[in-house]
Structure 1
Amino acid sequence: MTDIVVTARRREERLQDVPVAVTAIGAGAFEKLFASTFADVDKVAPNVKIDTLLSSVINTPAMTIRGIGTVDGDSTVDPAVPVVVDGFTYARLAGSMLDLFDVERIEVLRGPQGALFGMNTIAGAINIVTQKPTGEFGGKAQVRIGNFGRQDVRASLDFPIVPGLLAGKISVLSSKSDGAWFNLATNQSIGGDNTFAIRPKLLFTPDEALEMVLTAEIIRTRAGIVPFSNFSTPGQSVYQLVT
């Protein structure tokens, strides 16, 4: 039986040895779900709900764990469920709806995580771990085309620099769509997204007891606005007013 290793307490441990309520999801599981962002984590993690914040751009999530969360994208509000990538915490909700590219696993930590992830993480945390350089030459690429102008390209390249000592990796993402809504007044599609990201990594392993990883990441996103919808039913005054 293969042990599942997690970093829920900022060090590598077997999942069964961690005294924290953790759901660990590998990259393979998300590929089977055809997931695009970590918002799809609520399909496989219990007690987790992730939606897009209303009246905001599509990359701002509204997350709850065990019914507790934050639905305010204001920069002065600390999220009750922060997003953590390779040990670095996204301090605000805005822009934290990340695309899953070159991810090794996602860990959902349920319950207060103030000791390791900030004093206001009262509901839990989403811990995302990206893939390290392998030290061997190789690469992979994925292309996805769909409705509403959806075009996704993900690619990564591994390469050795000094065999056994220094290795590198470059991951690239391009994701765009026209949006699933159409504005009859302007005759344009709305609610689309356009994201480009590149993540270079260096892995330095001078000996078996020491490993150093240098990561840089540049993300440019130009997301559309999520439109309001009329939820009134036929017969109600608001429904008659807007139809």
Structure 2
Amino acid sequence: ETQEYAASVLADLFSNRQDICNSLATDEIVHPCTKLLTSNTQVIATQSARALSALSRPNKTKSSKMSYMAEWDVKPLIKLAKTFSIDAAEIAVAALANLLSDHHIAAEALAEDVVSSLTRVLGDGTSEGKRNASRALHQLVRHFPVGDVLMGNAHCRFAVLEIVDSLNAMDMEGTDAADALEVVALLARTKQSVNFTYPPWSALAEVPSSLEPLVRFLAEGPPLVQD
């Protein structure tokens, strides 16, 4: 109970005071939080993941934090992302989305089948959860070929449609929308291959309503997302 309370307080502090997170992202703070990710009590693990998510949130001085973040063992986060609780999964995915910009972490996460967790949150999560899952996929497809990230027609079709749908809840001016659109663009440019007997863009043609968010962003969005 004491650990649960402490983890919750830290998570609230780091979430509400982003201005102090950069200076606190040290081994003395990060290591105890990562150890708690392996707790048999899911609430403790979840609150620890929330604290780590806040600590690892990208900002203008992100590079000074990544030296610590790149040393994390992401397997406990991936395990948490695969738990039955969608709430816990969302929190774990939020932390992973912050960390996958590191190629080593991204490679480890891909090997541990993090994509199944991301697509689950894309399908069943809240708007914020879907936004983070989309952001995590964006990091992965920047590091690896689309065919290595999304396996098979059904997997890719699902991702395309869910990411496009998630745009409805995103701020046009935000970077999350730009990241999501970049994923869609990368998928749309992917051609038929061993993994995809149908080009991924065909999912949009099969579900005409999926084009509505794209048309809205094109008509009303800032130049960054219109491109």
Structure-1-length-normalised TM-score: 0.24
Which structure is larger by alpha-carbon Rg, 1 or 2? 1
Greater per-residue helix proportion: 2
Greater per-residue strand proportion: 1
Structure-2-length-normalised TM-score: 0.25
